[in-house]
Amino acid sequence: MADTPSSTPNDPAGESPEHSGGEKFAAQGQHESSDPQSPSTGTGTGTEHGRHEMAGPAGYPQFEGPGAAQYGSEPVEPPPAVAPMPQAPPPRQPPAPHQPTYGPPGTGPAGPQPGMMPPPGMQPYPGATPPPPSIMPPPPGGPLPTYGYQAADNVPRSLDVGNALSYGWERFRANPLPWLGTTAVGVLIYLAFVLVVRITNPTSMLPVLLIFLAVMVGIWLLQAALVRGALYETDGYKPVFGSYFHFVNAGNVLLTALLAFVLTGIGFALCVLPGLIAGFLCMFALHYVVDQDLGPFAAIKASATLVVTNAGPVLLLALAVVVLTVVGTILCGLGLFVAAPVATIAVTFAYRTLTGGMVAPL
């Protein structure tokens, strides 16, 4: 009878092959730590941890054996750089509407400020798209001032006297009541003058001069009010009664009118012709003051330059205004209620036309 095989010399524990194979299988099924000092290897000598775990992609579990999860020790790799998406170009903005500017430097403010609104109650004419009127001086440090409102092409135009008078009549006919009311203020000034003279019955020169000066101040301010209304008309707005007096430079108005009056008086004292020439050269002085807030000397200089540059058509317009005024006076003075507004609008039309300015179409 054969003896049972004894343990092999290589097996120190004297275990059978079947028993040793089962132990090895069990050892393989254990979860082994990546730490060499972990006690899960049995003896802790490090000889049972002869296997090397395979580190796959960083941060993902590694499988070594039946279901043994392991995590790699590699650092987490940053994600690949992604090129920035090309940004679409900004949408094309429509061109800004033309803002009126002024002509040669040194003759007025920088023009109306964006967002400035006309006085309450004033409406534009049907179909007109007028710009905001220039009724306020620009802030200090603004652009250099220049001549009146500029149209889109900034080109002064030739003056047609017939067109100027026709424009004045059509604008007056479309908005007669405010013009008649403002002109009636002149009648009230005259009546006040007559009343004061009769009540005071001055016998010396000083009271007469004071009364005369008070009357002239009223007339000059009324002229500025009529110019303000005519500027609104050429802008394309229908002025109401209160908007005629919507100017903030009454001091410059009075000083300019006084200087022009003195120059004209000196001219008439020397000879009639120099007085007429002085009045002719100052024809647009109040327009530069009211529209551009120029000082007295600058306004008279700008007016003289404009008149001399366009002497022919301006002279024809001045003669037409004189004839219109005489006709209005002959009609018992009542014709002045029409002649004064039409003449003022016509002269303002000429001022804007000759300076390349804004003139709203009829």
Q: What confidence tens digit (pLDDT) does each residue in 84-133 have?
A: 766 766 666 554 444 444 433 334 333 333 334 566 667 777 766 555 55
Confirm whether 338 is domain-assigned: yes
For the cut 50, the answer to whether the pLDDT of residue 290 exceeds it is yes
Any domain includes 64:
no
Higher per-residue confidence, 82 vs 338:
338
State what percent of residues in the chain have pLDDT above 70: 58
Is 220 part of any domain? yes
User: Which range among 120-129, 165-174, 224-233, 343-352 shows the weakest confidence by mean pLDDT?
Assistant: 120-129
Between 62-66, 83-87, 310-314, the lowest mean confidence (pLDDT) is in 62-66
Q: How many domains does the chain have?
A: 1
Range of the structural domain that residue 326 is part of: 147-354
Q: Residue 357's pLDDT is what? A: 82
145 compared with 97, residue with greater pLDDT: 97
Predicted pLDDT at 7: 46
Question: Is 282 contained in some domain?
Answer: yes
- The pLDDT-based confidence of 12 (bands split at 50, 70, 90) is very low
Is residue 208 assigned to a domain? yes
Task: Give yes or no for residue 224 having a pLDDT over 90.
Answer: yes
In a domain, 331, yes or no: yes
In a domain, 50, yes or no: no
The whole-chain average pLDDT of the chain stands at 73
Q: In which band, very low, low, confident or very high, does the pLDDT at 2 lie, cut at 50, 70 and 90?
A: very low
Higher confidence at residue 27 or residue 209? 209
Residue 249: the pLDDT is 84
Q: What is the pLDDT of residue 246?
A: 82
Q: Is pLDDT larger for residue 349 or for residue 14? A: 349
Query: pLDDT band for position 74 (50/70/90)?
Result: low
Q: Which residue has the higher pLDDT, 43 or 143?
A: 43
pLDDT at 75: 57
Residue % of the chain over a pLDDT of 90: 36
pLDDT at 227 over 60: yes
Q: Say how many CA atoms lie within 13 Å of 107 toward its Cβ.
A: 22
- At 196 the pLDDT is 86
Is residue 25 assigned to a domain? Answer: no
pTM to 2 decimals?
0.63
